[in-house]
């Protein structure tokens, strides 16, 4: 199946009203438009497989209301030390052999200490040597740390904005929205690809979801990767306890698909990834997400500390849907490579 490539300019000047109008479209019209955008830039039969590993769990000093790894949460998650390099590389090899293209690693830190960077750099270099794409999420970074990660060969850095700027303040108090945007700028200036998305279903309104998409779609350069999570309400976390046994404990499936579709239209070249919360979605809902432009998933039975659909179940679903694992480079990275060749 061929991709109908388009030369239409990529917009970064979206207004909130324009994105709100996307959300307000009749559902079938929104999906039709999103599918058209998706097919203009991506191979619609391909889904990128990624694996996420927690390399340092729990004990985080941040107070993010959704997170079971916060030191202030009573979720039962025990703090651990940074994993041994060899153990991480073994997990990466297993993920590669299972078909994953990208290996993502997360550490529950506000920011990495300089003493940890040697080990982190060794991990990045080792995973890259396996031929896999690498992604790290370690909290806030200094320019010097970002430069170290770039030199080690890090492909992506994940730092989610979580929500729209107005609702964010109701979820996190230990780090500002500006702090998150500053970290994204630090990563971008270091020459590392950006992975940034958020969580829906935290009790926010549609206007907040509009604000979330608007923030990412108006960055000077769109994130190469946009993970969209559905909240997994964990007992002992602020949001898990607050939303327990309420209609807000799970976002409406159609609204979740609308969010995916709006992100696809506003950020045509980005990889839009179904992340946490997918294990509670039906195959029909996931199929609608793929139709709406999602083209990446996390495989394996765990996402950091949250449950996830297993690899066998995922492959069976993709087979039933006639989809296959992605093998080539993502459009934004391929475009940058072609520009480099042209200027050489």
- Whether 121 contacts 145, CB under 8 Å: no
Q: Rounded CA gap, 222 and 193, in Å?
A: 10
Backbone angles phi, psi at 76, to 5 degrees: 85, 0
* Residue among 33, 102, 135, 209 flagged as catalytic: 135
Sequence-ordered list of residues with C-beta below 8 angstroms from that of 157, at least 6 positions apart, any chain: 135, 136, 137, 141, 146, 149, 187, 192, 193, 194, 195
The residue annotated as part of the active site, out of 33, 104, 209, 258, is: 104
**Which residues on neighbouring strands pair with residue 13, listed in sequence order?**
none
Please list, in sequence order, all residues whose beta carbon lies within 8 angstroms of the beta carbon of residue 216, skipping any fewer than 6 positions away.
161, 196, 197, 222, 223, 226, 263, 266, 267
Catalytic residue among 50, 180, 195, 209: 195
Half-sphere exposure (Cβ direction) of 141: Cα atoms closer than 13 Å:
28
Look-up: residue for tokens 């799970």?
Answer: 250
CA distances from 161 to 211, 227, 341 (A): 11, 10, 33
Three-state SS string over 189-209 comes to HCCCEEECCEEECCCCCHHHH
Q: Is 135 a catalytic residue?
A: yes
Compute the CA torsion angle 226, 246, 304, 302 (nearest 10 deg).
-100
Strands (E) in 133-251, as ranges, are: 133-137, 156-158, 193-195, 198-200, 225-230
Is 289 in the active site? no
Exactly one of 50, 67, 102, 180 is catalytic; name it: 67
Residue 60 appears among annotated catalytic residues:
yes
Active-site residue, from 50, 64, 209, 264: 64
* Annotated catalytic residue, options 33, 175, 209, 273: 273
Whole-angstrom Cα distance, residue 173 to residue 329?
37
R_g (Cα) of the chain, nearest Å = 19
The catalytic residues are: 60, 64, 67, 104, 135, 195, 273
């Amino acid at each position: 199946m061929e991709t109908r490539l388009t030369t239409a300019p990529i917009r970064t000047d979206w207004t909130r009203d324009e994105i709100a109008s996307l959300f307000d479209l009749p559902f079938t019209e929104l999906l039709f438009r999103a599918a058209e955008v998706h097919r203009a830039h991506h191979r619609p039969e391909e889904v990128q497989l990624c694996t996420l590993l927690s390399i340092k769990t729990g004990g985080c000093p941040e107070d993010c209301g959704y997170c079971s790894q916060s030191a202030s949460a009573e979720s039962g998650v025990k703090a651990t030390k940074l994993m041994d390099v060899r153990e991480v590389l073994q997990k990466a090899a297993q993920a590669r052999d299972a078909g994953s293209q990208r290996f993502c690693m997360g550490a529950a830190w506000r920011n990495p200490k300089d003493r940890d960077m040697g080990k982190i750099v060794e991990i990045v270099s080792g995973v890259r040597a396996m031929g896999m794409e690498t992604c790290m999420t370690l909290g806030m970074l200094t320019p010097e740390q970002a430069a170290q990660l770039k030199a080690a060969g890090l492909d992506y850095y994940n730092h989610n904005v979580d929500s729209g700027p107005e609702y964010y303040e109701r979820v996190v108090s230990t780090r500002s929205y500006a702090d998150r945007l500053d970290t994204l700028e630090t990563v971008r200036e270091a020459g590392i690809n950006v992975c940034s998305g958020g969580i829906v279903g935290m009790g926010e309104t549609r206007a907040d979801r509009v604000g979330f998409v608007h923030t990412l779609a108006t960055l000077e350069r769109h994130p190469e990767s946009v993970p969209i999570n559905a909240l997994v309400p964990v007992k002992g976390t602020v949001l898990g306890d607050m939303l327990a046994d309420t209609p807000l404990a799970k976002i409406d499936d159609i609204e979740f698909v609308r969010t995916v579709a709006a992100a696809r239209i506003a950020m045509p070249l980005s990889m839009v990834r179904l992340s946490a919360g997918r294990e509670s979605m039906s195959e029909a809902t996931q199929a609608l997400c793929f139709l709406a432009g999602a083209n990446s998933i996390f495989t394996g039975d765990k996402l950091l500390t949250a449950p996830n659909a297993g690899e066998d179940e995922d492959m069976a679903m993709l087979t039933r849907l006639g989809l296959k694992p992605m093998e080539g480079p993502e459009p934004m990275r391929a475009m940058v490579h072609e520009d480099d060749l042209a200027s050489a």
